[in-house]
Amino acid sequence: MRKTLGLLAAVSLLLSACGDGAASGGDPGRKTIRIAYQAFPSGDLIVKNQRLLEDALPDYQITWTKFDSGASINTAFVAGSVDIAAIGSSPVARGLSAPLNIPYQVAFVLDVAGDNEALVARNGAGVTDITGLRGKKVGTPFASTAHYSLLAALDRAGVKESELTIVDLEPQDILAAWTRGDLDAAYSWLPSLDELRKTGTVLITSRELATAGKPTLDLGVVATDFVEAHPAAVDAWRKAQSQALNLIHDDPAAAAKSVGAELNLSPEEAQRQLSQGVFLKSEDLASPEWLGTSAAKGKLADNLVSAAQFLKDQQKIDAVPDLATVQAAIYTVGLPDALG
């Protein structure tokens, strides 16, 4: 309940700060799209950097706002201040569950977490494996894919959450605390993850957890009212994201140039970081393994229900949505043709 009250308080502050315009979708006389993005290597940054959506929708006013975690993005959706977002599967599972029940649709799979998210122990902390985290302090952004993976790693190792101290910190705050020696370990993602690795030891990656049955993904979600009012714009956004995925596969150097520009990295470093994620091919998105089609929703819905069940078992959410509810929140209209 404390998390719920915190979210409601954050929503109140966000509404106060943004005013009626943000909550009502901006200027009612203009077509607007408010996009929440995160600073991790992905096709979403290619869409932003190359202005693929702006070129496809010249009549729309498009704004991109950086967020540090999925929890803050969920807060923005509840406040009605975001239309489209890049967000992890764990916060989406929370968003589709009680008490949030956020009205949004999962319309794209940006990537599957691989070695680009990991649990790292700081050198000198005396931790060589996950069981060694007992009595230690670990940082991670709460309600994120990294938080979910941390809980899954602890559960797999037989370590109770109560046996250590988990601190809610955004990736940049983790780096600051790490440098001060305030943390013994952290579960985070690129690009900040690379800084942790320089003075730490990787205990487990999200790729390993996926193999063990606890996969996490980065998803593209769209507010339900926006889908209903602007289906053609959503199609354009899906095609732009597909174009970015194809670029990652077909021309990694060009993809890295755009990602590097957004993350202030060299093209070489950006390409190295992109190589640590798992990026689907656009033609795979409508397969039974992922989104599926309107006639047969894919296994992504099952993945989200499984994630919600794990969060419920960990007492992080109040209730688990049934499969039909989650399937209804997977946007498959026009697939696969809508992907271009």
- Give pLDDT tens digits along the chain (340 positions): 333 334 444 444 444 334 333 444 433 345 999 999 999 999 999 999 999 999 999 999 999 999 999 999 999 999 999 999 999 999 999 999 999 999 999 999 999 999 999 999 999 999 999 999 999 999 999 989 999 999 999 999 999 999 999 999 999 999 999 999 999 999 999 999 999 999 999 999 999 999 998 999 999 999 999 999 999 999 999 999 999 999 999 999 999 999 999 999 999 999 999 999 999 999 999 999 999 999 999 999 999 999 999 999 999 999 999 999 999 999 999 999 999 8
Place of tokens 């399937």: 327
Backbone angles phi, psi at 94, to 5 degrees: -65, -45
Specify the pTM: 0.86
Give the span between the Cα atoms of 66 and 264, in whole angstroms: 14
Backbone angles phi, psi at 204, to 5 degrees: -165, 150
Give the span between the Cα atoms of 231 and 294, in whole angstroms: 15
